[in-house]
Amino acid sequence: MSQSRLCKPWEHSLSRRQLLGTAAGAAAGALGLGALGGLVQPAVAEEMKKKEKQVLFIWIDGGMSQLESWDPKPGTQFGGPFRAIPTSVPGIHVSELLPKSAKQMHHLAVVRSLCTQDNSHSAGVGRIQRGDPKNRGVTYPYFGSAVANLMGPCSSKLPPYVWIKPGSGGFIHQDAGFLGPKYGALAFGDGKPPENLLRHESVSAADDAARQRLRQAANDRYAKLRRPTANEANSYVYEMAQTLMRRADLFDSSQYDPRDVERYGTHELGRHMLQGLKMLEAGVRFVKVNSYGWDTHGDNFNGHLSLMTRFDQAFAAVVEDLADRGMLDNVLVIAMSEFGRTPRINGHVGRDHWPEAWSIAMAGAGLKKGLVEGATNDQGTFVATDEYDIGHVFHTWFRCLDIDAFDVEYDNGGQPLPIAHDDMKPITNVLA
Amino acid sequence: MATTEQLQARYAPSEVHQIPMDRQLHCVRFSPCGKYLIGGDFDAKLRRFAVDGEEPFTELPPVAGHHGGWLQPIEFTSEGGVMLTADSWGRISAWSYDEETPQLKWTKEAAHDGWVRMLSISPDGKHVASCGIDKTVRLWSTADGELKQEFSGHQHDVLSVRFHPRGEFLVSGDLYGVIKKWDAAGGECVGEFDASTLFLYDRLQDIGGVWAMAFDKEGKTLAAAGTKPDHGGTVQGVPTTLLFEFESGKLQHTLTMGAVKDCYVHDVLLHDDGFVVAVTSGTPGTGQLLLHKPGDEQPFFVSTKTANCHSLSLHPDGKRLAVVSTNKGSNGNGRRLNKDGEYEGNNSPIHIFQLPAAEQPAAG
């Protein structure tokens, strides 16, 4: 029989059918995990702190202005209206729109000398998140999928690549590129769990078990008629759903400490960042939190006044909390966009796309603390020191995760492929 | 009030002069004596022009090195030759301006915590009101800069402030479209106007607010201008001016001053003959000068030749209008260098319009 051309399970939002599982449902019901609150068991957290590297990837979609954030040039032609303020590290200044993050500067490593290759969103988002390797005729994975593939889940067995995003959720298999759909992102739209995560109270555990046996039988029969990758991804999604059912607490924001909610911000990014922290605490390998709406071609300065304020609140809170919990030694924190914004201010008082000279903020695993690497010129127009492309940054991230990008390769069905741009190397100045 | 046709015949302006600039400007204002046109630029420099010299609008030496960030609001006392300026770093300064070089009278380095968005001077010239992103409105003595009053109550950035022509009231408009009416002497809030249609919260972004305000000469009508926002990021919205009956707070007219791409009304004034003069700026390349009679569906004059207009000022003779615009082709992604390989900024040419047969002095 020919292989089906019907749509695949991972092309849809997670459905109720995929998420109902006997063992998981029974476990969740029996353990009553929904009422435990968001914190992971202390012993588990301690174990993770000891040996498991994780990533918090904060994606600012559209392009954060480097001049209104990490590389201010006050009092210059392109500097904009805002002042620079001192940080917790003497001699390092950031925009006044980052007052809370300035107090966390001693945890941060900021690179001000990024010079990347693409000034369009359509290509830039992918190129940056894939590390822009040399073209070898394949679609490279996003960083989250790469980590999911290279490192797998943490010992928690929770999904390795979780994306907390505005809007709708689902399984974003496209992120995985040639690695195959199972390494895609499990996306929680507005931080919400898949619908009907828990077994409905009207369904008894015994009935549910019977259903699952039937489902398993059907699944086995289905698998025999499909490509192995299709079935593998299908099973993978199901297993993730089962695991998640045991951690329904991760989605119950009513259990969060109100002081944390206030500190992170009740806005979208604040809520999602706090949930991202809970995911990390629970043992998710790679958590991506993102914000949309940063493409400020018009009214850039009023725009950044409110956007940065909310970013600052959530970012500073999560860095502070990871540090306080001792997790920053093992969690790599990255905050970035697909490019920066033009020094030139257009007639709509906006800034356009600028990959020529922009900044990235990082913290945590494997990085030095409290430093700025690289510099732009006095006007902030171009990089004045060595330029770093995203390939350098990918090498740096992999090194932070104890992966040597010069030794480790992907195996694309027998084709060895480098995991980062093979002509680039880590930014050693930021590595601890 | 004159008919629309009469207003058209009397006031439809035509451009008679253009002042090239090497920098972008936020605003220009004619001095009450009519001798000077003063602008504030993105380099925090005070740019000055002699209006009626041998060559019209000859540039005088700028005042640099005093303000920081963006030099935005510029206002004058009607008498006494005092000019008030403020910047985005929180400084307010007073100058005597009718001299070869403006002389600093006083300055307050931290008048606000950050961006001072607007100034307004009391009709008697004794006080200047200021507002800023620190959510406050403050009242200062124009003579010596002494803080006289603080008006507290706004929950969000205060973007605009105006004295009532009789001087006993002050209005301030904020980011969320709340306009507060204050007893200028006592500091009490005595009323509010609802301009919340000029605000939108989209994703993480606060968009809009009361960007500009103006009174008519008798103080019966308050104009509040900005945009009806459509979405954030690259902000778009319909440029809009709301006209309130000041006494009752009732919204009388909503003037739609363009399409979604035209976005913001950046500056507005109410002419003595009862019509609204406004400039707009939106998607790079768009921008309008509009003259609109309240009650009419359409403006009786629109110029789209001036791109991305950010400020306007009517000369005290009522016959000349200065409009700050932006050079064409001001936007563009990525590396774009001039023929000499330099990275250039944009600039703000100032357009001087003549009002053909203005018969009476107008509000400035």
β-partners of residue A40 are none
Closest CA relative to residue A247, chosen from A10, A19, A51: A19
B338 touches chain A (CB under 8 A): no
Which residues of A, range 31-50, sit inside 8 Å of B by Cβ?
Answer: none
**Phi and psi of A269, rounded to 5°?**
-70, -35
B346 touches chain A (CB under 8 A): yes
Contact list in A for residue B334 (CB cut-off 8 A) is: 119, 342, 352-356
**Phi and psi of A276, rounded to 5°?**
-60, -40
Mutate to test the interface with A, among B113, B205, B347 (most CBs of A within 10 A): B205
Contact list in A for residue B331 (CB cut-off 8 A) is: 297, 346-348, 350, 352
What does the buried/exposed string (b/e) look like for B320-333 if buried means 16 or more CB atoms within 10 Å of the residue's CB? bbbbbbbbeebbeb
Task: Give the tens place of pLDDT for each residue, A257-276.
Answer: 999 999 999 999 999 999 99
Q: How large is the C-alpha radius of gyration of chain A?
A: 22
Mean pLDDT of B173-185: 97
Which residues of A, range 68-87, sit inside 8 Å of B by Cβ?
Answer: 74-83
Average pLDDT, chain A: 87
Which span out of A5-19, A240-254, B281-295 was modeled with the highest average pLDDT?
B281-295
CA distance A104 to chain B (A): 22
Hey, are the CB atoms on A347 and B326 less than 8 Å from each other?
yes
The yes-or-no verdict on residue A6 having pLDDT over 80 is no
pLDDT at B359: 52
Paired tokens of B216: 């008519």
Hey, are the CB atoms on A83 and B284 less than 8 Å from each other?
no
CA distance A83 to chain B (A): 6
Contact A78, A343 (CB under 8 A): yes
Contact B242, B195 (CB under 8 A): yes
Nearest to B345 among A77, A82, A353 (CB): A77
Q: Where are the alpha helices (DSSP H) in A65-195?
A: 99-102, 121-130, 143-151
The yes-or-no verdict on residue A47 having pLDDT over 80 is no
pLDDT at A22: 27
B55-63: long-range pairs with CB below 8 Å, 24+: B56/B17, B56/B352, B57/B17, B57/B19, B57/B350, B57/B352, B59/B19, B60/B36, B60/B100, B61/B101, B63/B95, B63/B101, B63/B102
Between A280 and A20, residue with greater pLDDT: A280
pTM of the model: 0.91
Which residues of B, range 290-329, sit inside 8 Å of A by Cβ?
Answer: 307-308, 310, 325-327
Mutate to test the interface with A, among B25, B203, B231, B283 (most CBs of A within 10 A): B203
Give the residue on A whose Cα is nearest the Cα of B232: A293
Contact B223, B276 (CB under 8 A): yes
Give, in order, the Cα–Cα distances in Å from A121 to each of A118, A169, A353, B7, B333. Answer: 8, 21, 9, 48, 11
Residue B293 CA to residue B278 CA, distance in Å, equals 11
Task: Give the tens place of pLDDT for each residue, B336-346.
Answer: 889 999 999 99
pLDDT at A197: 65
pLDDT at B188: 97
Give, in order, the Cα–Cα distances in Å from A85 to each of A97, A371, B135, B144. Answer: 9, 15, 20, 29
Hey, are the CB atoms on A347 and B285 less than 8 Å from each other?
yes
**Phi and psi of B203, rounded to 5°?**
55, -110
DSSP 8-state symbol, A8: P
The yes-or-no verdict on residue A102 having pLDDT over 90 is yes
A315 touches chain B (CB under 8 A): no
Residue A393 CA to residue A389 CA, distance in Å, equals 7
Contact list in A for residue B333 (CB cut-off 8 A) is: 119-120, 342, 352-354
Here the ipTM equals 0.96
Closest CA relative to residue B265, chosen from B293, B242, B234: B242
H or E element in which residue A290 lies: strand A286-291
Paired tokens of A348: 């709509």
User: Which region holds residue B330: left if phi is over 0, alpha if psi is between -120 and 50, else beta?
Assistant: alpha
Contact list in A for residue B351 (CB cut-off 8 A) is: none
Mean pLDDT of A300-328: 98
pLDDT at B358: 57
Handedness of CA B225, B231, B235, B236 (dihedral sign): negative
Closest CA relative to residue B279, chosen from B288, B271, B292, B270: B288
pLDDT at A230: 64
- Asked which of A124-133, A182-191, A205-214, B147-156 is least confident by mean pLDDT, the reply is A205-214
Half-sphere exposure for A275 (CA within 13 Å, toward CB):
30
Give, in order, the Cα–Cα distances in Å from A53 to each of A35, A49, A111, A282, B100. Answer: 28, 8, 22, 13, 67
DSSP string, B272-296: TTS-EEEEEE-STT-EEEEEE-TT-
**Phi and psi of A151, rounded to 5°?**
-115, -20
Contact list in A for residue B239 (CB cut-off 8 A) is: none
Between B358 and A410, residue with greater pLDDT: A410
Q: How large is the C-alpha radius of gyration of chain B?
A: 19
Sheet holding B212-215, edge to edge: B212-215, B221-231, B236-245, B251-256
Between B285 and A4, residue with greater pLDDT: B285
What does the buried/exposed string (b/e) look like for A188-227 if buried means 16 or more CB atoms within 10 Å of the residue's CB? bbebebbeebbbeeeeeeeebeebbeebeeeeeeeeeebe
Mean pLDDT of B316-334: 94
The yes-or-no verdict on residue A14 having pLDDT over 50 is no
CA angle (A297 as vertex; B278, B343 as ends), nearest 5: 105
pLDDT at B298: 94
pLDDT at A220: 81
Between A11 and B330, residue with greater pLDDT: B330
Mean pLDDT of A332-343: 98
The yes-or-no verdict on residue A228 having pLDDT over 90 is no
Contact list in A for residue B325 (CB cut-off 8 A) is: 347
The yes-or-no verdict on residue A5 having pLDDT over 60 is no
pLDDT at A198: 67
Average pLDDT, chain B: 95
Residue A409 CA to residue A415 CA, distance in Å, equals 9
pLDDT at A205: 83
- Assign B357 a pLDDT band (cuts: 50, 70, 90): low
CA distance A277 to chain B (A): 20
B337 touches chain A (CB under 8 A): no
- Assign A36 a pLDDT band (cuts: 50, 70, 90): very low
Hey, are the CB atoms on B233 and A306 less than 8 Å from each other?
no
Residue A297 CA to residue A40 CA, distance in Å, equals 42
Paired tokens of B273: 């003959």
A385 touches chain B (CB under 8 A): no
The yes-or-no verdict on residue B247 having pLDDT over 90 is yes
Contact A396, A430 (CB under 8 A): yes
Strands B189-194 and A185-189: unpaired
Q: Other CB atoms closer than 10 Å to residue B99's CB: what's the count?
A: 9
Query: What's the first-to-final CA gap in chain B, in angstroms?
Result: 19
Task: Give the tens place of pLDDT for each residue, B199-222.
Answer: 999 999 999 999 999 999 999 999
CA distance B21 to chain A (A): 14
Share in percent of chain A as helix, strand, coil (round to 5): 40, 20, 40
Mean pLDDT of B248-275: 97
Contact B181, B166 (CB under 8 A): no
Task: Give the tens place of pLDDT for each residue, B16-61.
Answer: 999 999 999 999 999 999 999 999 999 999 999 999 988 899 999 9
Which residues of B, range 30-89, sit inside 8 Å of A by Cβ?
Answer: 42-44, 68-70, 72, 88-89
Torsion, Cα B251 B255 B260 B263, to 10 degrees, reads: -80
Closest CA relative to residue B356, chosen from B65, B7, B62, B70: B7
pLDDT at A7: 41
Contact B27, B72 (CB under 8 A): yes
Mean pLDDT of A329-354: 97
Contact list in B for residue A74 (CB cut-off 8 A) is: 68-69, 89
